[in-house]
Every structure is written in structure tokens, then in C-alpha cells.
Structure 1
Amino acid sequence: MEPENQTSALEFFLLGFSQDSEKQSFIFGMFLSMYMVTVFGNLLITMAIISDSHLHTPMYFFLSNLSLADICFTSTTIPKMLVNIQTQSISITYAGCITQIYFFLVFGGMDTCILTVMAYDRFVAICHPLHYPVIMNPRLCGLLVLVSWFISLMYSLVQSLLVLRLSFCSKLIIHHFYCELAQALTISCSNTLVNHILLYTVTCLLGFVPFSGILFSYTQIISSILRIPSADGKYKAFSTCGSHLSVVSLFYGTGLGVYFGSRVSPSSLKGLVASVMYTVVTPMLNPFIYSLRNRDIKKALQRLLERTPCVQ
């Protein structure tokens, strides 16, 4: 029991960004602002979809799940970083680090799965419009979300349990602002071969398979749009998936930047910036991307704000 007690008493040190007090004040204000915008924006989108019966469709059902996943995804890392800056501490407990790794993988995986499901939804809507109500029925939509949760939860649980069996001896320094799994494995004094095999295998599967599905869907979508004779029809068809395509590009672009950047230089500033884009900026921009060019969302938000009582 002694080694286990020693392990559970360990603390990891998150170096994150600059330790300069003046820069930390700026970093605190910037990340707090981005976090508040992320939570408020995604929560507003979710409330608008729930409150407006016109938006009770598969596309907006998946969008509300994506917004909730984005709130949770950002909340796994930013609050702890803000607390550390405020308390002038760079430490996180062993239990806190494992918990952060688990939930980061859960909600990161959910983002990937939901984006893939949304691409399939747009594929059916544009390529098989007459069969859309039959194919994308409430039962299938609920099942797709449940499967997404199951995949994310199971992978995260297995990966976290494998981390729990590792020993950490010294130099418990993580060159990041959160407990990043790959870097946590590098500072372990145990054999991490199984962990790395699972990490790279599932990362490829959760990256390549969904991305291939999205790529196939949009190949078919573009092919169908090009066959539409009228320019107005083409514009209307493309506008229904333009927002999703923008989010996918931002999500996978920054995600690949983090992945390849960490392979080249795990502790570089470029890697940290890429991680911020992936974990903070992308979830923050999603509500704006989906609301600025979407008339239905704009009208739903307007009706929601009109129903909200004003404090005199």
C-alpha cells in the first residue's frame, strides 16, 4: 500500500505560459474573457434550441449536444489554470491530473463524434432529401448521440485506468497549462509501451475514421450541389452545411496542429498556442459561426431574449 499512498500524494507542476507576474495578469484576463464568452455563447445557443419548437430538428439537436460538449471541454482545463494564476501556484494533485485527463478525453472525443454525426445528417439532408424524415428519425438521432457518448466514455476510462497503474518518481513537470496525456506519459518512470500503443492507435482511429466519414459526406454533398441547376438552389444547399464545414476545418486544423506540433517539440510556445486554439478558441467561435449565418438561430435567439424579463 505504501507505493500507492506515495503516488496519490504526488503533485504535478504545470509550467504553462510565462511565470512573469505582469504577463500572468494579462493571460488571466484573456483566458477568463474567452472562457466566459465560450460558456455564455454555447449556453445561449443550447437554450435557444430547447426553447424554440422550430429548431427541434436533428441538425439543431446535434448542435445543442455539440455546444454542451464544448462547454464541458473548455471547463476541464481553463478554470484550474485560472485558479493557479490567481493563487500563484503551478501545481495540480495526482487525482486532479488523472481526473482532468479523463474528462478532457471524454469531451474531446464527443466533439469529434458529434461533428461526424452532423456531417452524416447534412449528407442525408442534401443527397437524400425525400427520405430525410424517415432516415433521421428521433430514435436514430438519440442512438447516434448515445453511441458517441459510449465511445468517448469507454476510451477515456481505459486510458485513465492505464495511467493509474503507472509510477511517477521525479521531475513531475508538464510543459502545458493542463495535464496533457502524452506529456504525462513521458515523465513516468514505468513502462509506458502499452499506453503509447493505445494512445496512438485510438488517436488515429478517432481522428482518421471520423475525418474520412466527414470527407466522404462532403464529397457526396458537393457532388449533389453541383448537379442543382439554379444558383439560388446551390446557395441554399451550401448554406445549410457551410457553418458545419467551417467548424470542422477549424477543429481538425487546430487539432492536427497540436498533434504534429507535440511530436516535434512538446514544450514549445507554438505547441501551447496550437493547444489554446484547439481547446479554447474553437469552442468559443462555434456559437458565432453557427449564429451569424443562420437565420433560424438568429430568430430563435431574438425570441429567447424577448421572453427574458428585464431587471428594472
Structure 2
Amino acid sequence: MSLVVLVVGTGSIGMRHLQVLSEIEGIQPVAVPARAERVDELSAQGYRALSLEDALALQPTAAIVATDTGRHVHDAARLLRHGCHVLIEKPLAPTATGVARLAEVAAANERTIAVGCYLRFHPGLRRFKELLGEIGAVHHVSVACQSYLPEWRSNVDHRYTYAARADEGGVLRDLVHEIDYATWLFGRPQRVSAMLTVGDSLGIASDAAADLLWRVPSGATVATRLDYLTRTRRRFIEAFGHEGEIAWDAVENTVTVKSSRGTTQVNHVGCERNSMMREQFLALLACARGETYDRRLTSFDEGAFAIALCDAARASSASGAMETIRDWRNG
């Protein structure tokens, strides 16, 4: 018997989730578009598409929330109350304010809720994590994700996408993958210093660049650069230790380890985006069945911490001072 899984929101990422789910045996994906007219359009494309009310009547096992960021909490709460285990596309919400109520809904309904930071499932990042111990105690980490927003989609005007909206877009929210995996690998900071640059040069109201600096419990510093401004795409994490350095280049698909003895080891580790999303969803289902929690799956707490860090970064950019990252439970 197939498990019914809803995909709520059918923009580019929602459609990718539909494609991924369609390829998993035993899963019956149902598209739930935000606009009613999309139901017929998607049905004509061969997808099963329904209104949310009709889709919930099918008693779905799980749901993926891929609506606009500002709707995530509301949409997820409704799905949780109807018995769905829920994967929310990143970021969890525009800010950490009010997300504690969603955690309460999940607990009250005994449902699993996770956040879609699928890069944790990249074998390159996994290899980076496995080899990290070879460089000894880490004293500094550098993280970057840089690309040119107008070139993301050739047939879409970037000025009218969610990325351009100050209230729910911008690099801090959009590229939260980097914040998620940096804190996953090296621990959570208590405070952050940041400088944000509004995207006037791109014609957008949101932040087009963000420079963040924090210290993790081990004492290592983490510097992160996120931007929509760089013509040559870059995505990497580098760690510098007492016995060498290690870097994962997500564009070149390499993990490189340089030891203090002068040796260099290059691992070629590629991955296809759909496979990461597939593994991520299967990890959610396994968790829903009560199996061992896959630590690569971004928990609600981890997703909420990431946006609380983003809140503190915006506050730091405004104040010019290092700001404390507030506990999302108190927001």
C-alpha cells in the first residue's frame, strides 16, 4: 500500500520534490498548489493535484512544505494537526519569533518535524566530516556561498522572486545551508558579528551580501561570506588545524586534505541534487517510523537555531556590535 505524501507549494523547489517523490517506490505524491488554477495545470502534466482540503482527506502520512517562507509556520501547523510528519523547506521561517508554537503543535500531535537542509546529505560534506580529525584541533573555519542572482534562472526576473523580498528573502535566509552545516560540524556560537549589504545594485530590497563572524565552543572562529553578487560561482568550507587543513569544494566536487608533513590528498566526491533530497525524505520517514534518528536530518531545533542566528546577524549589522543569539524557545 502506497503512502500518501503531500507537496504543499509547487514553485521550482516544490516541483523538484514532486519529481523526487515520484521516483520512490511505495510513495504516492500529491501536489497541493498555492493557487487554485494550478490544480488543472499540474493535472494536465500528469501529476495528481488537489486542493489542500481534498488532499488532507486522503489521510497523508507526511508532507513537504514548499510555500513562501512567510507561510511555513502556518502551513506546517495545519499539516501537523492532521497527523502529517512534516519536512519544511529551508529556512524554517522568516524569523525565530513565534516558531516555538510550532514545536508545541508537533509535540502535541506526536509528529516529526524537520527542515530541508539537504546539503548535509552530500557525500562530499560527509567525507569532509570523516576526514576532519586528520588536521588536528581546528582554529579557524571559512565558509562561502557566492553566485550571481540575475543568472540563477534565465527565464525569471530575479527582482520579482522571493529572494528579492526583504521580509522573507535575501542571502541570510536563502543560503542558510551554510549556517546550518557550519554549526552542525563545529558547534553553536553564543554571539555573532555581521555586516549586511542591501541589494540596491541588483534592484532588490533584501540583503545581497552578508559577512558573518562567530566563535564556537572549541575556541575556533568561523567566518562566513554569502552573496548574490559574484559572477563566478563558489561554494566551499575550509577548516584550518594544527596538523593541516581540509576543504570541501561543492562546485568542483572535491575534498582536499593538506597535512603539515607536506602531503596533499584530493578526493573526488560528486553528487546529484535529487539524490540528496531523496535521502533526506527517506530519513524523515525512518524517523517517523521510530527508527534511529539520522543526524544528517536537520531537526526543528537546529533549523530554529539557524534563523535565530540570522536574526542576531541582522541586529549586529544594524547596531555595529556583536549580538547575542536568542533562544528561539523564548521568542
* Larger relative contact order, structure 1 or 2 (CA cutoff 8 Å, min sep 6): 1
Q: What TM-score comes out, normalization by structure 2 length?
A: 0.23
The structure having more radius of gyration, on CA atoms, is 1
Which has the larger share of helix? Answer: 1
Q: What TM-score comes out, normalization by structure 1 length?
A: 0.24
